[in-house]
């Protein structure tokens, strides 16, 4: 396929089934290109002049900052956590979450407690910034998930965590204390050294945005359908 505008574009993308399914459908519908059915994590698409780097979502902001990729698709929360000076070319509105403070409504941080408030989070850089906006300056303990377990074991009083339906929190006797921020799936680039990378990235993202606009089946994953409770 003749696609000179995409020559040499390096795209970082989450190695996550739902996101990969979206990418595969976009590439097929728009360019007639099928992703190879293999375990390869670096893929060159000759027809488009695009190389794909599939990685863990949390690594993508670092890959962008280190200029290993020209364009990265990831959650806006991960860019904020890594404090990457990125330009958001597109907020897809897909895979949205709230960033919330979760715990027990009857306990800390609303109630009195001896000693410093203990907050756990997967976001050790972002969490102090978010909590300072609501007047909290707790001690921060970093973990890698399952906030409900940490709280119920008594290791922390509350957690800054992602939230979609609240089903897991409710099943573990926890409540949403307050919403701190929102996050969604974005396409990001760095301020380019030359206009060429911007043009390639922008062209690719414009194609994706046009394709998404026609995908009514994806509406259920958009921000407008996200429930805070």
Work out the angle at residue 139's Cα, subtended by the Cα atoms of residues 136 and 144, and round it to the nearest 5 degrees. Answer: 110
More confident residue, 4 or 31: 31
| pLDDT tier for residue 23 given thresholds of 50, 70 and 90 | very high
Checking if the pLDDT of 37 tops 90, the result is no
Residue 98 is predicted with a pLDDT of 95
Among the residue ranges 82-86, 120-124, 180-184, 212-216, the one predicted with the least confidence is: 212-216
Q: Are 74 and 188 in contact (CB under 8 A)?
A: yes
Q: The domain 4-95+184-225 is classified under which CATH number: 3.40.50.140, 3.40.190.10, 3.30.450.20, 3.40.50.720? A: 3.40.190.10
Pick from 99, 103, 98: nearest CA to 117: 103
More confident residue, 1 or 130: 130
CA 219, CA 61: separation in Å to the nearest integer? 26
Domain ranges of the chain: 4-95+184-225, 98-182
User: How many C-beta neighbours within 10 Å does residue 92 have?
Assistant: 20
Work out the angle at residue 76's Cα, subtended by the Cα atoms of residues 34 and 15, and round it to the nearest 5 degrees. Answer: 35
More confident residue, 215 or 106: 215
What is the homologous superfamily of the domain 98-182 according to CATH?
Periplasmic binding protein-like II (3.40.190.10)
Residues 54-108 have pLDDT tens digits of 999 999 999 999 999 999 999 999 999 999 989 999 999 999 999 999 998 776 6
Residue 192 is predicted with a pLDDT of 62
- Asked if 4-95+184-225 and 98-182 have one fold, the answer is yes
């Amino acid at each position: 396929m003749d696609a000179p505008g995409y020559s040499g574009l390096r795209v970082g993308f989450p190695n996550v089934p739902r996101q990969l399914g979206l990418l595969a459908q976009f590439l097929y519908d728009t360019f007639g290109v099928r992703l190879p059915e293999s375990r390869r994590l670096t893929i060159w698409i000759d027809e488009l002049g695009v190389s794909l780097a599939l990685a863990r979502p949390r690594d993508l902001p670092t890959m962008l900052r280190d200029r290993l990729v020209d364009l990265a698709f990831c959650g806006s929360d991960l860019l904020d956590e890594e404090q990457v000076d990125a330009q958001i070319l597109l907020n897809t509105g897909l895979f949205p979450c709230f960033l919330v403070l979760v715990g027990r409504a009857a306990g800390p941080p609303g109630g009195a407690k001896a000693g410093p408030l203990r907050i756990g989070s997967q976001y050790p850089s972002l969490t102090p910034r978010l909590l300072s906006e609501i007047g909290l300056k707790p001690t921060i303990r970093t973990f890698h998930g399952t906030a409900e377990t940490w709280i119920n074991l008594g290791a922390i009083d509350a957690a800054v965590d992602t939230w979609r339906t609240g089903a897991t929190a409710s099943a573990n006797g926890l409540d949403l204390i307050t919403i701190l921020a929102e996050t969604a799936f974005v396409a990001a680039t760095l301020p380019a050294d030359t206009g060429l990378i911007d043009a390639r990235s922008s062209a690719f993202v414009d194609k994706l945005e046009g394709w998404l606009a026609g995908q009514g089946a994806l509406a259920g994953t958009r921000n407008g359908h996200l429930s805070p409770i």
